[in-house]
Amino acid sequence: MRTILIASIFALLAGGACKKDNTEKAGEAVRKNVEDVSDKREDVRDEQKDVVKEQQDVVKEQRELGKEQGELNQAKTNYSIAVKERLARLDARIAELDAKADAKSKDLAQSLRTRRDILKTKLDNMGTTAQASWNEFTKDVDGTFDSIEHDVNDALD
């Protein structure tokens, strides 16, 4: 009987130790899960901060784009005014050439007026010129102006 009693006590002690091991394992698993959840919460907070920062960057870029677009529109307006003034000066110079009495001057004036009209057609389409091709457009217009003005000046001088 004593053996049974000792065996029972030993079994109880051994069984209690297993239960303690199981609770420790379960506790460790819970602690690990709590740490994982905390880490994930922190990751989500960090990601939310990143999203907010990115949204602020987008708003800033949109403001800058709006400002640049406004500056481009102003530059186009200024260019349009300058082109109209240049065209008026060119017309005056062609009229001066046409006022000369010789046939060669009159023929040259007519030729220059035709080139001027082609230039004017390009200028009439200035408002529809895409932003991407604006530099090419202005280079072409300025080159055409330079060529016509050069020919008028050569004929008058």
Digit-coded pLDDT (tens) for 55-68: 888 888 999 989 98
| Residue 97: CB atoms within 10 Å | 21
- Across 130-137, average pLDDT: 86
Q: For residue range 11-56, list pLDDT tens digits in order.
A: 444 454 445 578 888 788 878 887 888 888 888 888 888 888 888 8
Question: Nearest-5° angle of CA 52, CA 58, CA 61?
Answer: 145
Query: Rounded distance, CA 74 to CA 100, Å?
Result: 40
Q: Report residue 138's pLDDT band, with 50, 70 and 90 as the boundaries.
A: very high
Q: Using the predicted structure, report yes or no on whether residue 4 has a pLDDT greater than 60.
A: no
pLDDT at position 6 is 53
Q: Which residue in this structure is represented by tokens 């895409």?
A: 130
**Residue 130, both tokens:** 């895409």
